[in-house]
Amino acid sequence: MKMTLSEIAQAVGAMIPENQLNQFQQTMITNVAIDSRHAELGSLFVPLQGTRDGHDFVANAQATGAVATFWQTGHPNRPTNLLVVDVDDPLVALQGLAKYYLMKVNPKVIAVTGSNGKTTTKDMIAAILATQNRTAKTQGNHNNGIGVPLTILEMATNTEVLVVEMGMDRPGQLTFLSKMVEPDVAVITMIGEAHIEFFGTRDKIADAKIEITNGLKEDGVLIINGDEPLLTSRAEKWQPLTFGNHDDNYLYKTSMKLGAEYSEFTVDRWPDLTFKIPMMGEFNIMNAMAALTVGRLFHIAPEKMAEALVDFQPTENRNQWVKSDCGAMILSDVYNSNPTAVHKILQSFAQVAGTGHHIAVLGDMLELGEKSAELHAGLATDLSPEKIDEVYLYGPEMKALYEALQDDYTPEQLHYYPVSEQQQLIKDLQINSHYRDLILLKASNGMHFDRVLKGLL
């Protein structure tokens, strides 16, 4: 971004002090920071309310380069040695500034949501569209009411296409985000059990996901997984483009070949072209097909799309293979977890050929509410000694799965650890994993499996 402070003040409806008008007009803002440690020369600091009050860190932001700050009107200790934009609510002002900047740059916007696969799908779409467009996309996990505005404000002024990931864990959140960005294209990858604690049923999750259409432009396009009745039944009035396995979809898979580090597939529209992605699992092929549907909508040549998919870089810790200290191969998928995702990755992991042991290390799936024990125990349907040799379970919710597997695995094959014993889990994995073993790490982000991964590397 690149805007004068006076333009920013006008965009958020703030008054400019008459005696500072020249300073506001001459001060150029090139980025926005919500963390004072990340402020730099040209930053506008936005003090948000979290576990700490962001206003307490304005001086720190100024010390690292911030040249101006939003400030909640009436908040005590207003700075006198820094340019201040007075606003009623810094978060609302951040969101308003993002909407203004989005309208100013005016890129085509693709919004992506879904219970699983939205980050990978977003990365694939961006890779495909970048073959002939100046493309920006969501970085990291910036997919909520704070992250989406930051994504918008981080894009370059010459951006032609913006791919925005949107997450939610409450009704109404996707409506808000969708109306903020007013997408030209909205993509829903699938409906699973993520956040079912707050929704109760998959039907209600589907209701929340379809909210992404509430800001969709009048001539916008909806793209959905056509194999999911919960989506197709809700999307009829938008006449969506669909992808999936069934031959009545707009784009459907005709063959596939699954590997540990790459998967290949063909689709009906380009029968002589084989697509290859640097990820395992049929579920990632579905993500790629969603991206291909977007690419076709933007008139990207199929050969260019194939080149983009084979080289695209997935976000860290999403289906990522890394080598452990002992030479075992680790499939790291530790950013998030829910029953649908775990079932799918266990099925794919079991099919990966190898000469060593298959070892599944699973941590709690969070936000499952009263169904948590049932959904954790239900993972047993994809765990058997014939497919996965050893199972390590971590966290209080995984106790239900541990009990469900008692009759299938011996004590030497099945291991359980409470949250207080993460270091013991790491130590046991270091001792018991060997060269050529395959290790799956999968847990919700709150279980801190990034530490387990680090311990094995």
Alpha carbon distance 108, 111 (integer Å): 10
CA angle 271, 277, 279 (to 5 degrees): 140
Asked if residues 42 and 20 have their Cβ atoms less than 8 Å apart, the reply is no
String of DSSP letters for 242-298 = EEESSTTSSEEEEEEEE-SS-EEEEETTSTT--EEESS-SHHHHHHHHHHHHHHHHT
List of residues 6+ apart from 107 with CB closer than 8 A:
136, 155, 159, 160, 161, 162
String of DSSP letters for 355-422 = SS-EEEEEEPPPS-GGGHHHHHHGGGGG--TTT-SEEEEESGGGHHHHHHTTTTS-TTTEEEE-GGGH
Q: Is 120 annotated for ligand binding?
A: yes
Torsion sign across C-alpha atoms 313, 316, 321, 326: positive
List of residues 6+ apart from 119 with CB closer than 8 A:
138, 141, 165, 314, 315, 318, 335
List of residues 6+ apart from 355 with CB closer than 8 A:
436
Alpha carbon distance 183, 218 (integer Å): 10
Residue type, 383: L
Q: Is 114 annotated for ligand binding?
A: yes
| Nearest C-alpha neighbor of 306 from the set 336, 282, 272, 345 | 272
Q: Is 116 annotated for ligand binding?
A: yes
Q: Is 324 annotated for ligand binding?
A: no
DSSP 440: E
Q: Is 117 annotated for ligand binding?
A: yes
What is the Cβ-side half-sphere exposure of residue 58, based on CA atoms within 13 angstroms? 26
| Nearest C-alpha neighbor of 439 from the set 385, 362, 375 | 362
Asked if residues 28 and 65 have their Cβ atoms less than 8 Å apart, the reply is no
Asked if residues 433 and 415 have their Cβ atoms less than 8 Å apart, the reply is no
Q: Both tokens of residue 55? A: 């206003």
Which residue numbers belong to the known binding site?
114-120
Instruction: Please enumerate, by residue number, every residue annotated as part of a binding site for ATP.
Output: 114-120
